[in-house]
Structures are given as C-alpha cells and as structure tokens.
Amino acid sequence: MRTGAASARELSREAATRLERAGVPEPIASAEVLLSELLGVGRADVAFYDEPLTDEQRALYETWISRRMEREPVQRILGYGYFRNLKLYLNEHALVPRPDTESVVDVALECIDRRGDRGVVLDIGTGSGAIAIAIAQERPGCEIHATDLSEGALKIARHNAELNGVEIHFHGADVAAGLDFLNKRVDLLVSNPPYIPSDAATRLAPEVHRWDPHLALYSGPEELTFFRRIFAETPPLLSAGADVVLEIGDGQAETVLALGEGFGFTPLGWRPDLAGSPRAALLRWPGR
Ligand SMILES: C[S@@+](CC[C@H](N)C(=O)[O-])C[C@H]1O[C@@H](n2cnc3c(N)ncnc32)[C@H](O)[C@@H]1O
C-alpha cells in the first residue's frame, strides 16, 4: 500500500482494488469493514472520516489487507463477527456465524412465541454460541441449554454468553449423549449441525475450508449423519409437541423432512433464508 494515500476513503479504495485483483470475493466490503472496525466507526462513515490515520493504523490495515488477500475471512482477522444484535468472539474451534443461520433463529423465535416466551430450548452444536445466545437475548423467558463436542468451542461460547449478559447452560456432549440429567423436557430443539459431506471439501471457498473448523463443517462421508443422529437420539429428551428447527444445506429439505418422519417426527415444512433457499427444516415431536 502506498504510504502517501491520504484519507481513509482513499486507503479503503486502494485496498479494494488490490483485493479485487487478487480475486478475493466482495473486495469493497472487505476493505471497508476492516477499515471501519479498525477506526471504530460505522462502515458508511469511512468515506467521511477526516482525521489523518496514524502510522500504526496504516501498518495494521496493511497487515489485515495482506491477510485478506490470502483468503483469511474478515471475522477471523478481527477475531469477532456480528450475528443479529450480537458481537461474537471467535477462536479456531468455532465456526464463523453465518447470515443464513440468522433466518434459522427467526424460525426458532416463531416457535417460542407460540408458547409465549417460555419453555426449555436446546441448541445442539452451539459453536460460538450464536443461536443459543441470540435466542436468550431476544426471548429472555426461556431456559436455554447448548451443547458442543468441542471444548474449545464451548470455551468461546461461554465467553460470548457472559459478554452478552445472558445465562446459558453449556454442556460438553456428543449430540445428545448424556443429556438425560436435564430434569425438564425440551420444548424447542434447534441445531445447525455439520451437513457438508467430506468429499465436497474441495468445492468450498478457501475462506471456509481453510479457516472454519472441520468438525463444524463436515458430516463425514454421508451428509445426513447428524440429522439421523438427532432424530434417533433426542426423542427421550423432548416434550410431547416439541418443535424441532434444523438448519439444512442446499437440496436437503425434503430428504431431512422425510428422514425425520421415518423416526416418528411430524414434518411441518421448510423455511427460506434471505436468498429464498430452503434453510430451516421444521418438525414436531408428537410424543410417544
Ligand atoms: C455448523 S457448526 C454450527 C455452529 C453454530 N451453532 C452456528 O450456527 O454458528 C456445527 C457445530 O457442531 C459441533 N459438533 C460437531 N460434531 C458434534 C457432535 N458429535 N456433537 C455435538 N456437537 C458437534 C461443531 O463443533 C460445531 O460447533
């Protein structure tokens, strides 16, 4: 980066051009978001930032742009990301929370609202805590439990819950194993499980394959493994009439709904993400 570049706006434009030439997706967004976070101003305000940047700020921005050119995601560079109203810190064990998952939370909130902001919620595979913390923040009347197999993910999820001032009961668990100590039945089960088959890894963007934890992404050789395990293992934990909201990958909606039906769940359909693609499968556990 030229040291002579004067204003924040010039710096960010120059960085965006370099990112674009390097083939980085959404170069303008990356350049602007990184600079706005560095300066502590809103993205739209970068263009109006009048103060001269210090040498330290320029040097840090240069380092961040170089990392982005190597396809490191913006959230990994910053060490945090935004999800609904939340700022969530990340470590190498936690998936970067996605905007698609925000629509899964919308579906979960609708289910909670039908019960009147109460009930027991279980988030399986909580990662950074995104889903559980968003629900806790937006529907404070619920009792919320969240699990993950990764102790590293649980560590950052606990930190995020504390920073966002919500109470979540976190449990280290392999899907639902060992959760029978919960003394109340779960009224809403929500999960964004790993649903990408391992052989699809090479088709993923480097931002995802190189930087997100593989435990969070890949389901193993078979894409439905986690859905099958959730349907097979969770019924003893669920109340009669419990709602089940599962994030699904492209093309998985009908298969996941049919799979759930085979395990005795009532399929209620799917809901779209912001782009209109099926992103949440909705089912109900009728009880035994
Ligand atoms: C797709 S990520 C979702 C993370 C977070 N809920 C979100 O939406 O951003 C899947 C999560 O499941 C966890 N996981 C993988 N295998 C698991 C297992 N056997 N039992 C519980 N959690 C598991 C991963 O560590 C990861 O945090």
Mean pLDDT of 264-283: 97
Distance 187 CA to ligand 1 centre (A): 20
pLDDT mean across residues, the chain: 95
Residue % of the chain over a pLDDT of 70: 98
Give the Å distances, CA to CA, from 65 to 46, 50, 121, 158. 16, 21, 40, 30
Given this model, what pLDDT does residue 249 score?
A: 96
Indicate the Cα dihedral angle 161, 110, 118, 234, nearest 10°.
-80
Structural domains of the chain in order of their starting residue, each with its CATH number: 8-70 (1.10.8), 93-285 (3.40.50.150)
Given this model, what pLDDT does residue 6 score?
A: 63
* Closest listed residue to residue 115, CA positions, set 137, 143, 134: 143
Distance 228 CA to ligand 1 centre (A): 15
Residue nearest to atom 14 of ligand 1 (CA): 125
Residue nearest to atom 2 of ligand 1 (CA): 216
- 192 C-beta closer than 6 A to ligand 1: yes
Q: Which two tokens stand for residue 36?
A: 């706005």
Mean pLDDT of 272-287: 97
Instruction: List pLDDT tens digits, range 109-163.
Output: 999 999 998 999 999 999 999 999 999 999 999 999 999 999 999 999 999 999 9
**What is the pTM for the complete model shown?**
0.96
Residue nearest to atom 11 of ligand 1 (CA): 125
Residue nearest to atom 10 of ligand 1 (CA): 216
Enumerate the β-bridge partners of residue 226: none
